[in-house]
Amino acid sequence: MAIASPSTPSFSASFCCARSKSPPFSRFSSVSFAHRVVQPHPLAPRLAVSSRLNSSKPSGPGGSVSPDNGDLHQYELYHKFSPQLRRRGPPVFVTLPVDTVGPAGKLRRPKAMSQSFRALVAAGVEGVVMEVWWGLVEREEPRVYDWQGYLELVALARRSGLKVRAVMAFHVCGTGPGDPYWIPLPLWVLEEIDKDPDLAYSDRFGRRNMEYISLGCDILPVLRGRSPIQAYTDFMRNFRETFRPFLGVIITGIQVGLGPAGELRYPSCPSQKLQWAWRSRELGEFQCYDKYMLASLNACARKIGMREWGNGGPIGAGNLMQNPEHTEFFRSGDGSWNTPYGNFFLEWYSGLLLLHGERICREAETIFRGTQVNTSAKVAGIHWHYGTQSHPSELTAGYYNTLNRDGYLLIARMFGRYGFSMCCTCFEMRDTEEKQMNPDSSPEGFLRQLLLAARVCDIPLEGENSAAGLDDDSFQQVLKMSKLYSNGLEKPSFSFNFMRMDKNMFEYQNWVRFTRFVRQMSDANIFGSKLGSGGDINLSSMLDATKDGLTFAYS
């Protein structure tokens, strides 16, 4: 039952979040856990790995040059784009289609994908982002992993001369079985959720969200004797052993999923709605009503002698579509978010999310230590109430970020403790456009705060667009916000993930704009300049690489 917000003297509830009291983290500290020894996938030893392509192979028939025949250097010169130019400025990666690896675990459309990779190389793209779905790899039984399709994909990237960033995707993709891009949690996990529905998040109305396992049971053995954290750890450890020959050579980055859509957040509203929720100003719902979350809240409230605060989330949070100024909890000035009770609840709620991120980041750092890969994690771009005092949609997602409290600095510090980069979205969005539909929205304000947190904590940044906008204005906005982070830093560490590759990307005008954008990002001398300046690359040569196969690659 939801409870009211009684008045009481102020205090801090941060100790209720069961934070670790261990000494400051060291990159060389050791964390040991018992794990079953897993042998690498049998295909892995057969895939020759080298930081350079095999130059002993002759060029193709008629002396043609392509990355598939081993002479990447000649291929790049042919397309007027040298590897030195690619490395001068922030590198650009392209996220692959969701269904690149199909439900059976096989690489789909390998010939068309090869053509796509050749075009990306010609454009000067550094690499691709490969989402590795828990629901595909460990689909049938616990600790039974099928990496076949991903091994083929990494081998294809190696032959093409592209780097790979792998996303450990522990969440659901799509809206349901009718969605062509539907990828559920592993079937054996769904069986456990059927037995115990409280493994899924729940809101005050009892609605379950199946996108990600509730962090309330992070360390409980609810998955056939393992905790969710142990299951994620075993998955990453098996990935490391299977792909070990590629790590630091072809696979240069690992992004660790921490929640719905891979982001460190609660599923305050379904992920598919986040692309347009700002249009309707949705507040979101607190996800604290499964029995595991309620048990934590109740214990925390009892510990401070306020039992009545531990029975559920705040009342007066309004309806999803309600104006926050018409709610008791979120309204400006005297809203209960800004009371001792509000501070207690929001510190507990956001503190558990931070603790969840810390647990997984600690495990990932231990697993990938010494592999020469960069690790990163993602923060959601929830900006549609950024112009209000209480930031309600951020609060329900687990970001305790308000007019008088910086919630992102704590997240950036947590990432920094484990050597993680921070990935954030909204780089292409502009306030002038968003405010026409929602005056409270401010993607640029949100992003500036996040960029400042990354700079203060001295952590690398990965930018990302929230929608596949291929217009010049969107690309120019990405350049502007990218420079905002890098400006004044002696050694800025920034890269950009373009979301995502599809058939529209290879249409002539879109391709022209995209390749020009990659050129401007990659060339340090014109980085941040306006689109259209700095000269053009040989676009006709690049487009030649896309003629065969790409028109039907994504149909």
C-alpha atoms less than 13 angstroms from C-alpha of 494 in its C-beta half-sphere: 28
- Quick one: pLDDT at residue 206? 94
181 located within any domain: yes
364 located within any domain: yes
Q: Is 282 a catalytic residue?
A: no
Total domains in the chain come to 1
Partners of 162 in beta bridges: none
Given 363, 394, 428, 464, the catalytic residue? 464
24 located within any domain: no
Q: Is 263 a catalytic residue?
A: yes
- Which two tokens mark 137? 């790899």
Contact 392, 401 (CB under 8 A): no
Given 76, 211, 263, 282, the catalytic residue? 263
553 located within any domain: no
The letter for the amino acid at 363 is E
Q: Which residues of 101-121 are buried (b: 16+ CB within 10 A; e: fewer)?
A: beeebebbbeebbbbbbbbbb
Measured CA to CA in angstroms, residue 281 lies from 183, 277, 326, 390 at distances of 28, 6, 13, 14
- Which two tokens mark 427? 């780089």
- Which two tokens mark 297? 């809240």
73 φ/ψ angles, rounded to the nearest 5 degrees:
-60, -50
Q: Which helix H or strand E contains 516, and what residues bound it? A: helix 508-522
- Quick one: pLDDT at residue 272? 63
454 located within any domain: yes
CA distance 510 to 496: 18
Q: What is the pLDDT along the chain (555 residues), one digit of tens a residue?
A: 344 443 333 334 443 644 444 333 333 333 333 333 334 444 444 443 333 333 333 333 333 333 344 444 443 444 444 443 445 689 999 999 999 999 999 999 999 999 999 999 999 999 999 999 999 999 999 999 999 999 999 999 999 999 999 999 999 999 888 888 999 999 999 999 999 999 999 999 999 999 999 999 999 999 999 999 999 999 999 999 999 999 999 999 999 999 999 999 999 987 666 655 445 578 999 999 999 999 999 999 999 999 999 999 998 787 766 789 989 999 998 999 999 999 999 999 999 999 999 999 999 999 999 999 999 999 999 999 999 999 999 999 999 999 999 999 999 999 999 999 999 999 999 999 999 988 999 999 999 999 999 999 999 999 999 887 889 999 999 999 999 888 877 776 999 999 999 999 999 999 999 999 999 998 754 444 444 443 343 444 444 544 444 543 444
- Which two tokens mark 465? 């667009």
485 located within any domain: yes
- Quick one: pLDDT at residue 316? 78
pTM of the model: 0.83
77 located within any domain: no
- Domain assignment of residue 437, given as a range: 92-283+354-523
CATH code for position 154: 3.20.20.80
Could you tell me which of 421, 505, 493, 417 has the C-alpha nearest to residue 469?
Answer: 505
- Quick one: pLDDT at residue 408? 98
149 located within any domain: yes
Measured CA to CA in angstroms, residue 17 lies from 339, 344, 375 at distances of 19, 11, 25
